[in-house]
Amino acid sequence: MSTHVDDLAAPVDLAGPARRVVSLVPSLTEALAVTCPERLVGATDWCTHPAGLDVARVRGTKNPDLAALAALEPDLVVANKEENRELDVRRLRERGVAVWVTEIETVPQALASMRRLLVEALDLAEPAWLADAARAWAGPVPPPRTRAVVPVWRDPWMVVGRPTFTADLLARLGVEVVGGDPAGGRYPPAEVAALDDPSVADVVLLPDEPYEFTAGDGPEAFARVPTRLVSGRLLTWYGPALVESAQSLERPGSQGA
């Protein structure tokens, strides 16, 4: 038996490298499926990557079916402080299930967290995608060159604030997230009239998750600030998507964000 410590400093006892893993976070699911697919035995209904993922489903991130999850007899369940409820983590641990909780608010935290989970808890060699992501995102945070509103919901409208992984990732591209009341938390509410203001923002980035903004649902709300539809996965996922986001999202000095 070996004892590890997750991102929240909680002890996680493992009899050996976890061979049966259930993931309650889409980003972690993708990381596991790409790195050690033979170990991933369960995931949520929201886990959509990689395409064709064929594992048992245990319902959603906020309402996992704990009985179905326990029936999979996992050596380890992986979760995230923001994505999953503390109540579900506690109930799993009360059932005797080992749970590893990640806490990720910056790109460096993401890289370190993934390395600890995969290399320490799962006893794997560092995957190539993780090394590629570390190289791609190395270097200092540049001065902001673009101000962006990033809505995550509408009716009511909510936007990305700080501290969040998305805000840090965009900052490393020279993009400063703006909008919403700073006292409103990490995803503050906002009025569209206050967001649609060129003195506040240069662009509105409309992701396709968690709210699925589309060409016909979102841009019409903004008459004065230009909008761009973007991949929510590239803005919010911290597994292999980090490599794609470094390659696909525009760098500072380019048009838009």
Same domain, 127 and 225: no
Report the pLDDT value the prediction gives residue 252, as an integer from 0 to 100: 39
**62 and 9 both lie in a single domain:** yes
Distance CA 197, CA 56 (A): 46
Contacts of 76 (CB under 8 A, 6+ apart): 12, 14, 18, 20, 21, 22, 98, 99, 100, 121, 122
Domain assignment present for residue 253? The answer is: no
Q: How would residue 91 be classed by pLDDT, with cut points 50, 70 and 90?
A: very high
Supply the DSSP symbol for 29.
H
Count of domains observed in the chain: 2
Q: What is the rounded average pLDDT for all residues in the chain?
A: 93
Average pLDDT over residues 62-90: 96
Span 2-6, mean pLDDT? 91
pLDDT digits (tens, 9 = 90+) for 98-144: 999 999 999 999 999 999 999 989 999 999 999 999 999 998 999 99
**83-121 as b/e: b if 16+ CB within 10 A:** bbeeebbeebeeeebbbbbbebbbbebbbebbbbbbebb
Query: Do 103 and 157 lie in a common domain?
Result: no
User: How far is CA 105 from each of CA 5, 84, 188, rounded to the nearest angstrom?
Assistant: 18, 15, 16
Statement to judge: residues 17 and 130 lie in one domain: yes
Looking at the predicted structure, is the pLDDT value of residue 25 above 70?
yes
Whether 15 has a pLDDT exceeding 50, the answer reads yes
Q: Is the dihedral of CA 81, 83, 87, 93 positive or negative?
A: negative
CA distance 142 to 170: 10
Instruction: Please count the residues of the chain.
Output: 257
Looking at the fold, whether 218 and 104 belong to one and the same domain comes out as no
For the cut 50, the answer to whether the pLDDT of residue 76 exceeds it is yes
Residue 72 has, within 13 A of its CA and on its CB side, a CA count of 25
- Token output for 224: 């004065």
Does residue 107 sit in the same domain as residue 219?
Answer: no
The verdict on residue 255 lying in a domain is no
Q: How far apart are CA 54 and CA 90, in angstroms?
A: 27
pLDDT of residue 180: 84
The pLDDT of residue 185: 85
DSSP annotation of 118 reads: I
27 within some domain: yes
Residues of the chain with pLDDT > 90: what percent?
Answer: 90
CA distance 190 to 207: 16
Asked if residues 209 and 233 have their Cβ atoms less than 8 Å apart, the reply is yes
For residue 182, what is the domain's CATH number?
3.40.50.1980
**256 within some domain:** no
**Residue 253 — very low, low, confident or very high, per pLDDT cuts 50/70/90?**
very low
Same-domain pairing of 180 and 126 = no
Short-list 101, 114, 135, 121, CA closest to 20: 121
Where a domain ends, among 76, 107, 136?
A: 136
Residue 21 contacts residue 95 (beta carbons within 8 Å) = no
pTM for the model stands at: 0.91
Do residue 76 and residue 172 come from a single domain? Answer: no
pLDDT in tens, 156-205: 999 999 999 999 999 999 999 999 887 778 999 999 999 999 999 999 99
Q: In the chain, at which residue ranges do the beta strands (DSSP E only) sit?
A: 2-5, 11-14, 21-23, 40-43, 56-57, 76-80, 99-102, 146-149, 151-153, 158-159, 175-177, 203-207, 227-230
Q: Does 23 share its domain with 109?
A: yes
Do 155 and 110 share a structural domain? no
Backbone angles phi, psi at 90, to 5 degrees: -65, -40
Q: Same domain for 168 and 239?
A: yes
State which residues form the domain around 79: 2-136
Q: Judge if 18 and 93 occupy the same domain.
A: yes
